[in-house]
Chains A and B, each alone.
Chain A
Amino acid sequence: MLITKLVSFFALISTIALVGCNKSETPSLNDASELLVKIGASAPLTGPQAHIGKDNENGTRMAIDDANAKGITIGGKKVHFELLSEDDQTDPKTATIVAQKLVDAKVNGIIGHLNSGTTIPASRIYSDNGIPQISPSATAVAYTAQGYKTAFRVMANDAQQGKVLGEFATKSLAAKKIAVLDDRTAYGQGIADEFVKSAQAHGAKIITREYTTDKSIDFSAVLTSIKGKKPDLIFFGGMDPQGAPMVKQLRSLGMKTQFMMGDGGYTPKFIDNAGVAAEGAYASLPGVPLAKMPKGLDFAARYEARFKHPIQLYAPYCYDAVNVMIAAMQQAGSAEPAKYLPVLSKVIYDGVTAKLAFDEKGDLKGGAITLYQVRQGKWQAVETIAGIQP
């Protein structure tokens, strides 16, 4: 592996490399009696969060391949599903461009985007064109609060998550003085704000509120400044590319302070990259642990067998999002966005992450949230809090 990597590096140097752009796959041959349904998906496939974005794409792809293998019919016609996957680069601007591209490609529905910061600006474009959108992972409250009929999500939002995290930090972990950091993205800021509200409501004091970006890896200065204020707990609203080096630098500064993140931290990569420093860190994830779901373990095993690595984060949610969309299409007897959209808001579907149903805003009804802690180098479920109302 080493030799091939180095050789390929120098071989590539001497050639002019063409960095290819993403090409959507060509549709397979289908006869006239078969209905072609295009599912658009978007997540960052390049950049720091590419590993999570690729995981989303994998989850979506698995659901689509399963549906094709099952030979699903909609309104009496056999259906062939096709995935159009686009890279939004975690960038709000790029997200609107790929959203328009997917709309122009006449997709029947959208699974995405991954981040709240990209999902929110893109949601307007889908709404204007009447295309149902299910985000597997955008948790910012603002996403479904815009009043768009087309916006749905299969994950508890930040208000629900922040509430649980704040309560857990103050009650179960008995934190009195809390330092809060966020990465200034729609998600990071949103969940940190909700966490602050909840922690303060439960009597904790927020001693400092600091910020970073979703591209930084050096936090020594800010952590040192936090160290001087001696908090009981540090909460970081952000994703694992920052969370892992942050907790590592925290421990290098000799601080034993508890470290907590939202769903953005709950990845195997967080533990890989932070190493022993990850031990004891907390994160939350909407939903019940996969092991407790009837179809959860089976899904995880099939995912690993197919993609040769464990689920990173949101793949099960993407899988559910596709399936709930297909279920709505089947009930409506049509894959036309205008026809199945009204059904989607009423459909109830038994997924791998939860029993899915949407409220009038498009949020998940009564979603459960599970808190996890790194113990012996693995995320272990600590507590599941069920039925959190938004």
Chain B
Amino acid sequence: MDIFLQQIINGLVQGSVYALVALGYTMVYGILGLINFAHGEVVMVGAMIAFTLLQTLLAAAVSPVVAILLSLLVAIVLCMALGYGIERIAYRPLRNAPRLAPLITAIGMSIVLQNLAMMIWGREYHAFPMPLGNALHEVGGAIITDVQIGIVLVALLMMSGLMIVVHRTRMGRAMRAVAENPSAAVLMGVDINRVISSTFMLGSALAAVAGFMVSANYGIVHYYMGFMLGLKAFTAAVLGGIGNLRGAMLGGVLLGLIESLGAGYVGDLTGGFLGSNYQDVFAFFVLIAVLVFRPSGLLGERVAERA
């Protein structure tokens, strides 16, 4: 039982991160109908910036709490700038191009960011300093660290914040309007470029937070870390119904649980025929299953294809 609970905790922690990243994919898709494949790299850049800052601040004997908050804040701001830049450079010039073109620039952007990060931060794994929150707590036989509790709480906080922004503010209303019908929104006086830029910036801010959380949890940063995380989060967004905010959150948490329970029990269930190394396979099996049986995802609505 304690092992089962432990796997649930593992899944929830992992799932919270997936959910935050998945929101970035889903928001952009909802508004532009574009999969921003560079989003995973934004997570990585956020983690790298936070790593550099945190290391420098801690070396300068700044108090841990201040160092953590400051590096998180700077990572968020710089990632927002990066998200804005990506949209301006790689997507805006192609707004009216065939759908394949922005998809290709998205992949190109992802490769460029990865290689830039490799040039700046080097090729090796760096230890992510985490001065606080390494204490262990026992809950019904399962162990959870402060960092992991923090991850789940911060993810919840960020997600509720996002819901408030989208449903209670002017900008949120503009976003929903653009998502529903871009041309009608323009006619109603919505500044579509501003809306798209803010969407990218919001998504990137969440990505920066996610990057910080993953690195704090594993204690490691690496220029390649965004790639797999991005793919998983994309899967989560599809699982929940891409374009749907609640779907991305649900999809993220579900995917985290599926992975950790799957990897944890597949070995015992199949008598060792399949092992926990199939962890990644579960995620992508889910992706295929969703696309085959319910392409609109769990919470997605079946919408008529627009011409």
Q: Which of B85, B222, B260 contacts A48 (CB 8 A)?
A: B222
From B6, B124, B272, B279, residue with most partner A Cβ within 10 Å: B124
Residues of A within 8 A of B123 (CB): 45-48, 50-51
A191-225, CB under 8 A of B: which get 1 and which 0?
00000000000000000111111011110111011
State whether the Cβ of B191 lies closer than 8 Å to any Cβ in chain A.
no
Other-chain residue from A1, A224, A248 in contact with B264 (beta carbon distance below 8 A): A224
Q: Is A2 an interface residue (CB 8 A)?
A: yes
A36–B280 alpha-carbon span in the complex (Å): 50
Q: Is A19 an interface residue (CB 8 A)?
A: yes
Give Cα distance in the complex from A6 to B269, angstroms: 49
B267 touches A210 (CB 8 A): yes
Residues of chain A within 8 A of B244, CB atoms compared: none
1/0 per residue B1-19: CB within 8 Å of A? 0010011001101100000
Residues of B within 8 A of A (CB-CB), count: 57
Tell me if B112 and A273 are in contact (CB < 8 A). Answer: no
B residues less than 8 Å from A228 (CB atoms): 3
A227, B275: Cβ atoms closer than 8 Å:
no
Q: Cα distance A48–B265 when bound, in Å?
A: 29
**Residue A164 at the chain B interface, CB threshold 8 Å:** no
Q: Would you call B115 an interface residue if the criterion is a C-beta within 8 Å of the partner chain's C-beta atoms? A: yes
Beta-carbon contact of B275 and A269 below 8 Å? no
Select one of A17, A248, A253 contacting B143, CB under 8 A: A253
Q: Are B143 and A252 in contact (CB under 8 A)?
A: yes
Give Cα A273 to B127, complex, Å. 4
The CA of A210 and the CA of B272, in the complex, are separated in Å by: 9
Interface string of B116-137 (1 = CB under 8 A from A): 1011111111110000001010
In the complex formed, the residue of A with least CB distance to B272 is: A209
Which residues 86-130 in B have Cβ within 8 Å of A in the complex?
112, 115-116, 118-127
CB nearest to B8 among chain A residues: A224
Q: How far is the CA of A249 from the CA of B77 in the complex (A)?
A: 30
CA distance A217 to B13 in the complex (A): 15
Closest Cβ of chain A: how far from B270's Cβ, in Å? 13
Can you list, as one digit per residue, whether each of B70-86 has a CB less than 8 Å from chain A (1) or not (0)?
Answer: 00000000100110010
B14 lies within 8 A of A50 (CB): no
Which of B56, B115, B119, B279 lies in contact with A2, CB distance below 8 A? B56
Q: Assess whether B125 is in contact with A211, with CB atoms less than 8 Å apart.
A: no
Assess the B124–A50 pair: CB atoms within 8 A. Answer: yes
| Residue B152 is within 8 A (CB to CB) of chain A in the complex | no
User: Does B198 sit at the interface, judged by CB under 8 A?
Assistant: no
Q: Which of A50, A212, A269, A272 contacts B276 (CB 8 A)?
A: A212
Count chain B CB atoms within 10 A of each CB in A8, A218, A228, A273 and give the residue with the most.
Answer: A218
How would residues 323 to 343 of chain A score, 1 for a CB under 8 Å from any chain B CB and 0 otherwise?
A: 000000000000000000000
CA A272 to CA B275, docked complex, whole Å: 30
Bound-state CA distance A208–B265 (Å) is: 12
Interface residues of A in 1-33 (CB under 8 A from B): 1-2, 5-6, 8-10, 12-13, 17, 19
Instruction: State whether the Cβ of B268 lies closer than 8 Å to any Cβ in chain A.
Output: yes
Q: Which of A12, A217, A221, A227 has the most CB of B within 10 A?
A: A221
Listed residue (B49, B85, B259, B276) with the most chain A CB atoms within 10 angstroms of its CB: B276
Whether A222 pairs with B263 at a CB distance below 8 angstroms is yes
| Chain A residues near B268 (CB-CB < 8 A) | 225
- Tell me how far the C-beta of B58 lies from the nearest C-beta in chain A, rounded to whole angstroms: 12
Across the interface, do A227 and B119 meet the contact criterion of CB distance under 8 Å? no
- Are B267 and A225 in touch, CB under 8 angstroms? yes
Chain A residues with CB below 8 A from B219, complex form: 245, 248, 273-275
User: Which of B3, B82, B124, B260 is A269 in contact with, Cβ under 8 Å?
Assistant: B124
The residues in B between 251 and 268 inclusive whose CB is less than 8 angstroms from any CB of A are 259-265, 267-268
| Chain B neighbourhood of A220, CB < 8 A | 10, 13-14, 260
B residues in contact with A225, CB < 8 Å: 3, 7, 263-265, 267-268, 276
- Whether A6 pairs with B276 at a CB distance below 8 angstroms is no
Q: Is the CB of A221 within 8 A of B10?
A: yes
Chain A 265-295 per-residue mask, 1 if CB under 8 angstroms from chain B, else 0:
0000100111100000000000000000000
What are the residues of chain A within 8 A of B45 when measuring CB–CB?
9
| Beta-carbon contact of A221 and B120 below 8 Å | no
Q: Please give the distance in Å from B257's CB to the nearest CB on chain A.
A: 10
Could you tell me which B residues sit within 8 Å of A by CB distance? 3, 6-7, 10-11, 13-14, 45, 49, 52-53, 56, 78, 81-82, 85, 112, 115-116, 118-127, 134, 136, 138, 143, 145, 148, 218-220, 222, 224-225, 228, 259-265, 267-268, 272, 275-277, 279-280
Query: 8 pairs across A/B with beta carbons < 8 Å?
Result: A6-B78, A8-B120, A13-B82, A211-B277, A217-B225, A224-B6, A248-B219, A275-B127
Name the 4 nearest CB pairs between A and B, nearest first.
Answer: A50-B123, A221-B263, A211-B277, A222-B276
